Amino acid sequence: MKENIKAKYGIVTAFALVMGTVIGVGIFFRAPAMTALTGGDFNAVLTAWVVGILMVVAAAIVIAEISSMDTDTGGVQSFLERSWSKRIGFGAGFTQTFLYLPANLALISWFVAGQFYVALLGRGGSGIEQIILAVVLVTTSFLINIYQPKLGGAIQVGSTFIKIIPLLLVGIFGIIFSGDPITSVGGNMAAVTEASGQDFITKVAAALAPALFALEGWIFLGIVSKEVKNPEKNVPRAIAGGLILVALFYLLFTFGVFKVATAEALGSGGADSASIVVRLFGSSAGRLLNIAILISALGVLNSFTLAYVRAPYALAERRDFPMAEKLRKVDIKTDTPIFSGFTALIISLLYMGGGVVIGGVEGIEGVLGMLADITILIFYVYYSITILGVLKLRRTEPEAVREFRAPMVKLLSAIAIAGTIFGGYGLFAAYAKTNLPVLIFYILFSLTGFIIYTASKDFEPA
């Protein structure tokens, strides 16, 4: 007999779950990217945050409906299979496995490595040092989640409070900061100068992808909707309220950052979260806050790794393609798909290597940031298709059991889909001039999953 999951979370727990899932490291190192893409336009950065949070709130509430239906284990792949077809679901799973997760993991690993040097050694690492440490960190994270999955789960149980502390302190003390701002510029000043010539709408659209990166994680919120008490009221309250609180923290942090460092210093790489923290609180207190940021970053690295270990396995469980048999093999001792995990590790390391090849040692962060922006917006296309699937199921399966029904579903769907189109425009505006071949390659590569699906057959367990 199939056992139903019991509702056990109240509104307070649901709020904490939302904030703990979304608050990560993106705010600490993607804000400078937003500044560069807007040419240092503070109003454009703030507007991008507002547009991003509206998109995320709308999409999260709508997708929470399909996740509350009697479907397979939550996730975009199973949601699309439920609402559209196995083919589209497989395409989303392929994109997640070969684009979205590895691109984000590579960027997060790079940031964690840099934060490690600042927080624990009191200095920034050289490009080579940071690359080597990033490889060590991501490899270690995979080994833990492959061979000691329980330890990986324990690491993930972190405190939302720790994550919020740096945001609040930098925001509050940054706003009242009266000293000399950081004015030194880095090697990316040309990008700031070029972006400053764009119109306001284009600047906002270009900054949207980094904003969405900082808000990632919301897709997991709808998956637990079955476990929230009184879901009709508490799910939208928790999602909307929790994400709005996160947005307020992010806006406060952004105000503080712009007070402590000039837009030129932020956008060109002459100032980052670590240097801003030290400027505000001095070396000793700044070291403690940077350690808090490091802990938060390690948690995010672990959560992405934990999910990625199982992503190739999920594809192999659905289709019988070359190497699928190895990918779906689960180790008896660890209850983990080991070959799947190592496949994910290799793909992640290839992304890091690609960043070095394309951008060089000094330009790797910009390249990895670009790849993450591209893959996030490609995946938002699948979010949009999922949202359309919710509208379709309202029409084709009106009597299906739903623990939660999204309010104002058409309006919220329109907001999320329009935001995705707007972000796509910004992506082309930001990268088409200098990186059009990379942009086209990733868009075309995301379609490879459909080719593999056509060339393979359904996996049928013995």
The pLDDT, as a whole number, for residue 3 is 42
pLDDT tens profile 158-213: 545 677 778 788 888 888 876 666 655 555 555 555 555 678 898 899 889 888 88
Report the distance separating Cα 166 and Cα 316, nearest Å.
41
Mean pLDDT over residues 363-379, rounded?
88
CATH class of 11-456: mainly alpha
**Nearest Cα residue to 105 out of 71, 81, 74, 140:** 140
Residues making up the chain, counted from first to last: 462
What SS3 state is found at 180?
coil
Q: Quick check: 5 pLDDT over 50? A: no
Please report the pLDDT score of residue 192 as a whole number. Answer: 54
Model confidence at 2, in pLDDT bands (50, 70, 90)? Answer: very low
Residue 250 confidence (pLDDT): 85
User: Residue ranges of the domains in the chain?
Assistant: 11-456
The span from the CA of 275 to the CA of 354, in Å, is 28
349 pLDDT above the threshold of 60: yes
For residues 419 and 48, the answer to whether their CB atoms sit within 8 Å is: no
pLDDT in tens, 281-292: 887 777 888 888
Q: Are 309 and 141 in contact (CB under 8 A)?
A: no
- pLDDT, tens digit, 9 for 90 and up, residues 429-440: 877 777 788 888
Q: How many CB atoms lie within 10 A of CB 450?
A: 14
The pLDDT tens digits of the residues spanning 409-460 come to 999 999 999 999 998 888 888 777 777 888 888 889 999 999 999 888 877 6
461/292 Cα distance (integer angstroms)? 46
Residue indicated by tokens 């190592």? 342
Share of the chain above pLDDT 70, in %: 84
List residues bridging with 457 in a β-sheet.
Answer: 320
pLDDT of residue 269: 57
Contacts of 238 (CB under 8 A, 6+ apart): 11, 14, 15, 17, 18, 221, 228
Six-digit token string for 247: 């947005």
List the Cα angle 177/275/113 in 5-degree steps.
145
Full-model pTM: 0.82
CA 38 to chain centre: 21
Q: Residue range 374-400: average pLDDT?
A: 92
